[in-house]
Chains A and B, each alone.
Chain A
């Protein structure tokens, strides 16, 4: 059992190392899924099958699908990978990596003195977790539901194609962007849509600049 734990732990560490060093976003995402699955195996070996199942379903399933869709919508090509490789210079990562390693060494030193030997892994099943979740932690469940609702509303608000303009337009803006063009080219597909004429792209570009200011 310890051997399985060690193997899955090393797989998790190696795949996480690959996540933070890849230049292609999709490759990093796939390594992240491997890392989450191996951590889920660690959960299972620790006698927490409910947490392991949730890890697979929610993390490796739902959250990673969100990442995949966003990467697909952004449609970063070979240029992005080349720019990533340029950004990831050794002068940039050696300093933070050394500082993190020092912190990790301190943590390992503090852990070495303790005796956290887990004797007899007892299975803590879903029934106990559910009883605890809807017993003493009921207020936490309510707060989590409010948090998820606010996350939903926030994501909807931020992801809307056209934000409302809070201030009335100034004079020159009104000349540059007549009222009819405001919503004409505004599709959720945005600027990545092919086939649009260049004039439309320019208008979109100007409108984007104005929206962000």
Chain B
């Protein structure tokens, strides 16, 4: 039985989430925005697994599996939207979506 630092793991989850949030904010390419959303979801899952390890309960891992299923569904729809977007506008610039109403 070893003991690991739970603060470090929670801090790691926070750092990864902040990096993903920064990626969503600073990128204009839709593919990169989707990747950053994946990073954020992964960080949330990491926090759940840390909580599961802290209390020796499987519930955190169950929530991680749900997050995994949600991420898979989200990324499939998101990438289909990206393909459709590229077919319409010929670019991946998120600002081009402002022309969608015209």
Residues of A within 8 A of B (CB): 1-2, 5-6, 9, 12-13, 16-17, 19-20, 25, 28-29, 32, 35-36, 39, 42-43, 45-48, 50-51, 54-55, 58-59, 62-63, 66-67, 70-71, 73-74, 76, 80, 84, 87-88, 92-93, 96-97, 99-101, 103-104, 107-108, 111-112, 114, 116-122, 124, 128-129, 131-133, 137, 140, 144, 147-148, 150-152, 154-156, 158-159, 190-191, 208, 211-213
Contact = CB atoms under 8 A, between A and B. Distances in A.
Contacts of A133: 58, 62, 65
B86 A112 contact: no
Given A96-B26, A148-B72, A191-B87, 13 more contacts: A2-B8, A13-B15, A19-B19, A20-B22, A39-B46, A87-B28, A99-B25, A117-B7, A129-B62, A144-B66, A155-B77, A190-B87, A213-B102
Contacts of A118: 3-6, 9, 50, 53-54
- Most chain B C-beta atoms within 10 Å of own C-beta, residue among A19, A84, A191: A19
Given A25-B31, A117-B5, A191-B87, A111 B23 contact: no
Interface residues of B, number: 75
Contacts of A29: 35
Contacts of B31: 25, 67, 70-71, 74
Interface of B: 1-12, 14-16, 18-23, 25-29, 31-32, 34-36, 38-39, 42, 45-46, 49-50, 52-54, 56-62, 64-66, 68-77, 79-84, 86-90, 92, 100, 102
